[in-house]
Amino acid sequence: MKIRYSAIYSALILTISLSVISCGGGSETPTDEPKNTNVSDVVISHELSDAQMLNPINYSDAGAGYIIKNIFYTLLSIDFNTLELVPLVAESRPEIEVTEDNKMNITYRLRKEATWDDGTPITPKDVEFTLKVIKNPKVDNVNNKPYFEFIEDMVFYDDDPQKFTFKCKDVYILAEVQSGDLPLLPRSIYDPNDLMGEFTIKQLTENQSELASNEKIIEFAKSFNSEKHQRDKEFIVGCGPYLLDEWQTGQKLVIKKKENWWGDKLKDQGMYFDINPSKIVYQTINDQTTAKEALIAGEVDVMRGIKAKDYKELLKTDKFLKNFKQHTPPQMAYTYLGINVRKPMFSDKRTRQALAHLIDVDKIIEKIVLGYGTRAVGPIHPAKKKQYNTNLKPYDYNPEKAKQLLAEAGWADSDGDGILDNTIEGDKVKFEMSYLYNQGNDPRKAVGLMFQEEARKVGITVNVVSQDWSIFLENTKQHDFDMYYGAWISTPIPNDHKQIYHTSSYNGGSNYTGFGNDETDALIEAIRVEIDEDKRAELNYKFQEILHDECSYIYLYNPLERIGIHNRFSNAETSAMRPGYRLSGFKVNAAQ
């Protein structure tokens, strides 16, 4: 599934940042005095690697998305502080109508101020063009297309030229979010020969296979997929506040603020129109220790994802405390231990609950992630207050309770060898299990060893197994595990649980543990189409209760980000919105 960070929607992913980067390591803090005497409004942000590309339809990496969202604006976005949907190019959130035949109409009106860089107004036809690009069967965004399949047509209004309606196939909780997540493209740059002009949204929705051989479709896609629309600043143009200025591979990527940008007239209309730095420099330093030294030396202004141990060390140094502000906003993420519920030895939920009582999560947070996490009880983040079930309490570390549940599930040491056994499907089975984690991830290894020791005390043998990342991913997808350590990350949009928890996602989706039955599938499907927040909250409460009781996941913690931002900037607030800060809002302190 494609990862889309540039605007609103971000599919849940097994994130490498939570999976591969360990909390250990680091080096001694440099002793040189900070070099940063810069009082300009240029912001220098650390990045571990280059952006993949700056094509807003075809990209798939987070780093690119953070840059793209400053170049290409969408109809809607998410408020950095409130985590609510807010209008960008649209003048307001849309009107949504559910029809008698259980379809949706989503009606927008564009801001009268919104223009392209040549001064021409942005119109509904530009919105249509962007959607056509996404639906072009030869455009290299195969994983992105399904997110817009629900839009089957568009309606325009002669009496109101800035108004349009998306005609949607189904009712869906993410319809507003998805329809608003179109990075608007100027046709003059991306389709100067009007190759897509003769096709309608309806045709592109219904006739994908037939149109794949159309010469104009192919010609347009060949150009759109080409490198010029990935890296060439003359062909990377949106209606956002910044333009690509410079890209030195492996070193830096620079964007500069536009002169006379249309959004400057709307500074009182929200944070996404309060744009300050004249340039933003994305500095590539692919070694974390080197990046940390550059931060302290004042060579970069912002760094995120600092290793927990390094962050603790930084907070003890006078130079860092003098020149940088520390920020630890919550991440919209959770870590967990997945249990293979379709293996006979784990089919009894009491067995799974017993394992949960053997995991000392508070100790994991304190000793392994060094306090940079809060207890998790389910897949919905506490920041989503209305949908989060506050009645649930996490499984406590309680070996005695674990022993009781194991006995109730039929586990006993019948032969006195110190290992529990049980009769499962007519055979005597020893309680021996594997715990998988990805190779090189020291925190996950530490959790496994801690669990191994606690399990040993009650008569369970746990083999802690490290695997290469690609093998680890393949084994989880193929359900070839007993237990594994995983992490999921998302955005503040409504939770659609189908990808991870629906039984139809067992093969081909992300339901690796095999959770679910007819009742939970029905709940998931009801949640997906319930647009009334209060009614959806009731359904989500019930779903979270079942997840907690069934315990296919042992939820561990919601991570906290670790960010350093130079104190020469004001208005550098952080939030749960990835990457945790908004560079375009940074202002130089008046004292500077």
| pLDDT tens per residue across span 131-168 | 999 999 999 987 678 889 899 999 999 999 999 999 99
Residue whose token pair is 């690796």: 512
> What pTM was estimated for this model as a whole?
0.83
Q: Which two tokens stand for residue 31?
A: 């002793």
Question: pLDDT tens for residues 314-348?
Answer: 999 999 999 999 999 999 899 999 999 999 999 99
Give dist(CA 460, CA 95) in Å, integer.
57
Residue 2 pLDDT greater than 50, yes or no: no
Mean pLDDT, range 271-278, rounded to an integer: 96
Alpha helices in 409-532 (DSSP H): 442-457, 469-477, 498-501, 518-529
> Pairing state of beta strands 242-248 and 252-257?
antiparallel
Mean pLDDT, range 252-276, rounded to an integer: 96
Which pLDDT score is estimated for 426?
A: 93
User: Does residue 176 contact residue 2 with C-beta atoms inside 8 Å?
Assistant: no
Residue 525 pLDDT greater than 90, yes or no: yes
Residue 277 pLDDT greater than 60, yes or no: yes
Sequential DSSP letters for 22-40: -S----PPP-SPP-----S
**Angle, helix 349-356 to helix 533-550, in steps of 10 degrees:** 90
Give dist(CA 575, CA 69) in Å, integer.
17
Question: Residue 373, SS3?
Answer: strand
Question: pLDDT tens for residues 29-44?
Answer: 333 333 444 568 999 9
What is the band of 9 on the pLDDT scale with cuts at 50, 70, 90?
very low
Q: Which two tokens stand for residue 365?
A: 């947070």
Give dist(CA 482, CA 341) in Å, integer.
9
Which pLDDT score is estimated for 16?
A: 34
Of residues 569 and 37, which shows the higher confidence score?
569
What is the band of 591 on the pLDDT scale with cuts at 50, 70, 90?
low
Mean pLDDT, range 276-286, rounded to an integer: 96
Mean pLDDT, range 426-444, rounded to an integer: 95
Q: How far is CA 279 from the centre of its chain?
A: 26
Residues 6+ away with beta carbon under 8 Å from 14: 473, 476, 486, 487, 488, 510
Name the DSSP class of 437. Answer: E
Name the DSSP class of 413. Answer: -
User: Does residue 359 contact residue 454 with C-beta atoms inside 8 Å?
Assistant: yes
Q: Which two tokens stand for residue 119?
A: 């001064």
Residues 6+ away with beta carbon under 8 Å from 290: none
Which pLDDT score is estimated for 38?
A: 53
Which pLDDT score is estimated for 144?
A: 75
Residue 296: C-alpha distances to residues 28, 107, 286, 586 (Å): 12, 49, 16, 19
Residue 307 pLDDT greater than 70, yes or no: yes
User: Does residue 44 contact residue 283 with C-beta atoms inside 8 Å?
Assistant: yes
Q: Which two tokens stand for residue 105?
A: 């109409």
